[in-house]
Amino acid sequence: MSLLLNNPETMQKASEEIDAIVGTEHILDEVDVTKLSYLQNILNETFRLFPPAPLLLPHESSEDCTISGFHVPRGTMLLVNTWSIHRDTKLWVEPTKFMPERFEGGEGEGYKLLPLRNLRRLAVAEIFSSESLRKSSTVREEEVSCLIRRLLKVSTSGTQNVELRLLFSILASNVVMRVSAGKRCVEEEHAGTKMEKQLFQDFKNKFFPSLAMNICDFIPILRVIGFKGLEKNMKRLHGIRDDFLQNLIDEIRLKLKRTTSLKADEVTDGEERRSVAEILLCLQESEPEFYTDEVIKSTVLMMFVAGTETSAITLEWALTLLLNHPKVMQKVKAEIDEHVGHGRLLNESDIVKLPYLSCVINETLRLYPPAPLLLPHFSSEACNAGGFDIPQGTMLVVNAWTMHRDPKLWEEPNEFKPERFEAGLGEGDGFKYIPFGIGRRVCPGASMGLQIVSLALGVLVQCFEWDKVGTVEDPSHGLGMILSKAKPLEALCSPRRDLITLLSHL
């Protein structure tokens, strides 16, 4: 009540909601309360700012356990400081401000009320570690083989013009979906059918909201004043995504129950590869308060959204650049022929032996970083960046695109010259080349993204002859927060003669 008295606009908005939903015919009752989402946001925000039990009640660990990386012996008294979690600047935008709107669209229900830093540590240790990456290599190799089979099917009768954007997007989405949730986004049996396009479009609509939604991440005021019915659309989208993700994890939970009652350590130590959702569901058994369904859904969602288009777009740009630079294409091919040969398909363990292929991918990411403005960052304290005083709580947008093409930092910055990466990046060069961001919020999936792109590009060059459809493949890019090619890539493709025998066995 005190907060409402001090915030008359919020009071007004709450009373308008009650008038609209309850009306003046009867006194508001408990059934009405469930329909009053803004009122509930006010309560959530009040609990966040003034939790009645800021230290919760002391808990005693009944057995040895690990909480967020800390070993907690049996019989330890545990105090949870809700007050500081709820006012942590790394978790909340303007945490001391009373803003019930922050809970709109379900935001804050799950992971935001949890220590995100710990979740990130978990992500790095369990999901993106080199061991997890190694275990998921078969997924990437199988999906790349699927792509090759598709290309082979259309091109065995002779050189064919193929549209690659959809194929690359399906490849990346299937890999990320299998790694995160254990199943494909589109099954191979639907390859090339209308059903495939429809299924994939449905997937995209769920996880890649329109430009309007992205714009509001960068210009938050648009959320408050409303932008093209944005608030309504976001709520609708949140509902659709949430149903999809909940069904997905319920399905996995059921499967886990049916098969075995594995414990998390058995799951992570074993050789068998398990999806991220499966690992988290097993951890849920021992730490249900931390690994809630909300946390699991958020983690899987984050992987879909951040991992699929970025990888697919990089692959599309890389092949575009190779088509426009036949000498570079030739050099990549020669490297693969020398180190892998024609007797077997290139696999992930070959990538370290292909430094020039890596240079091509680095140079692609320099010229066309898929997230040219990275993600918006927020200054948790006042600082000075590049000579500018940045007050605490400022939204910072880093323009990686400009840095990657700055003539003070790069020689002939607009030229495609993979050789510039041959000597590796020197100390401090990391700050001028940031396709994955840098620092604490650096992309945790960078290694996985690089593996997807390197493997797919390497195998495409190893198995097929490629050519442009016209004289030059148009390198212009579209508008948006994600730097995709303006015109989807089409190319002429035919199987390499030397590899016909190998390809016929795929």
Residue positions forming the annotated binding site for heme: 443
| Structural tokens at position 294 | 């909300």
Give the residue, chosen from 176, 328, 332, 455, that forms a contact with ligand HEM under the rule CB under 6 A: 176
Q: CB under 8 Å, gap of 24 or more: what pairs does 124-129 form? A: 124/444, 125/69, 126/268, 126/276, 126/279, 127/276, 127/279, 127/299, 127/303, 127/444, 128/444, 128/445, 128/447, 128/448
Q: CB under 8 Å, gap of 24 or more: what pairs does 14-18 form? A: 14/38, 14/39, 14/42
Choice between 79 and 397, CB closer to ligand HEM: 397
Q: In this structure, are residues 227 and 216 in contact, taking their beta carbons and an 8 Å threshold?
A: yes
Residue 371 binds ligand HEM (CB under 6 A): yes
The residues in 177-206 that bind ligand HEM, with binding defined as CB under 6 A, are none
Choice between 98 and 208, CB closer to ligand HEM: 208
| Structural tokens at position 454 | 């390197």
The residues in 408-467 that bind ligand HEM, with binding defined as CB under 6 A, are 435-437, 441-445, 448-449, 453
Residue 307 binds ligand HEM (CB under 6 A): yes
What's the min distance (Å) between Cβ of 375 and ligand HEM? 4
Q: Among the candidate windows 82-90, 131-139, 226-234, 367-375, which touches ligand HEM by CB under 6 A?
A: 367-375
What's the min distance (Å) between Cβ of 282 and ligand HEM? 20
Give the residue, chosen from 284, 314, 358, 462, that forms a contact with ligand HEM under the rule CB under 6 A: 314
Q: Among the candidate windows 87-95, 309-317, 330-338, 425-433, which touches ligand HEM by CB under 6 A?
A: 309-317
| Structural tokens at position 447 | 């290694």
What's the min distance (Å) between Cβ of 4 and ligand HEM? 33
Q: In this structure, are residues 222 and 230 in contact, taking their beta carbons and an 8 Å threshold?
A: yes
Choice between 41 and 268, CB closer to ligand HEM: 268
Q: In this structure, are residues 38 and 100 in contact, taking their beta carbons and an 8 Å threshold?
A: yes
Choice between 87 and 377, CB closer to ligand HEM: 377
Residue 296 binds ligand HEM (CB under 6 A): no
Q: By C-alpha distance, which of 236, 216, 17 is closest to 105?
A: 236
- E strands in 253-295: none
Q: Among the candidate windows 21-29, 48-56, 138-146, 303-311, which touches ligand HEM by CB under 6 A?
A: 303-311
Choice between 262 and 365, CB closer to ligand HEM: 365
Q: Cα 8 from chain centroid?
A: 39
Choice between 45 and 178, CB closer to ligand HEM: 178
Give DSSP secondary structure letters for 101-141: GGGGGGTTSSGGGS-HHHHHHHIIIIISSHHHHHHTHHHHH
Report the C-alpha gap between 213 and 85 in whole angstroms: 28
Q: Among the candidate windows 51-59, 305-313, 383-391, 494-502, which touches ligand HEM by CB under 6 A?
A: 305-313
Choice between 105 and 437, CB closer to ligand HEM: 437
What's the min distance (Å) between Cβ of 58 and ligand HEM? 32
What's the min distance (Å) between Cβ of 479 and ligand HEM? 18
What's the min distance (Å) between Cβ of 278 and ligand HEM? 16
The residues in 113-152 that bind ligand HEM, with binding defined as CB under 6 A, are 120
Residue 306 binds ligand HEM (CB under 6 A): yes
The contacts of residue 469 (CB under 8 Å, 6+ apart) are: 161, 490, 491, 492
Residue 375 binds ligand HEM (CB under 6 A): yes
The contacts of residue 40 (CB under 8 Å, 6+ apart) are: 33, 103
Q: By C-alpha distance, which of 303, 324, 419, 304 is closest to 366?
A: 419
**Feature table: binding site:** 443
Q: Which residue's structure tokens are 């907060």?
A: 3
SS3 per-residue string spanning 382-430 = CEEECCEEECCCCEECCCHHHHHCCCCCCCCCCCCCHHHHCCCCCCCHH
How many angstroms separate the Cα of 85 from the Cα of each of 54, 56, 60, 96? 10, 12, 20, 12
Choice between 345 and 443, CB closer to ligand HEM: 443
Q: Could you tell me how many residues of this chain bind ligand HEM (CB under 6 A)?
A: 25
Residue 21 binds ligand HEM (CB under 6 A): no
Choice between 54 and 480, CB closer to ligand HEM: 480
Which positions touch ligand HEM (CB under 6 A)? 120, 176, 302-303, 306-307, 310-311, 314, 365, 370-371, 374-375, 435-437, 441-445, 448-449, 453
